[in-house]
Amino acid sequence: PNVPAIMITPICPHSLSFRPIVVPAGVELKIMLSRDARNTAWVSFDGRKRQEICHGDSITITTSCFPVPSICFRDPVNDWFESLSQCLHWNVRKKQNYLSSEEEEF
């Protein structure tokens, strides 16, 4: 949470080689279609309405000068990781239920 950086994460990538990219704050990323692209592309940000990118269009991504406010009850770093752990149920084992006699007949 205290890292001055931008993280770009592809959602539902079509290849395992598409990994999240972390770049330092202050870097300006410019995304454009390849000149030899046969078609247009679509993008969506934060799950909002999708936008079409045509040839000649570009998207510029920069760090905002307005940080995202967050509330930390104790330590900002540990509070953030604890929140992630609870939301994603990391290292939580759920007790498996036994099969009932009705299910065993199938």
* Total-model pTM: 0.54
**CATH code at position 56:** 2.60.200.30
Among residues 55, 63, 18, which one has the least CA distance to residue 37?
55
Does residue 96 fall inside a structural domain? no
Q: Alpha helix locations (H) across 11-90?
A: 76-88
Does residue 60 fall inside a structural domain? yes
Does residue 87 fall inside a structural domain? no
- pLDDT tens figures, 34-63: 989 999 999 888 778 899 999 999 999 898
Phi, psi of 72 (to 5 degrees): -115, 125
Does residue 53 fall inside a structural domain? yes
Beta-carbon contacts of residue 50 (< 8 Å; ≥ 6 apart): 42, 43, 44
Does residue 16 fall inside a structural domain? yes
Residue ranges in the chain modelled with pLDDT below 50: none
Does residue 81 fall inside a structural domain? no
Does residue 79 fall inside a structural domain? no
Q: How many domains does the chain have?
A: 1
- CA dist 28 to 24, 54, 60, 68, 79, Å? 10, 20, 7, 19, 30
Does residue 83 fall inside a structural domain? no
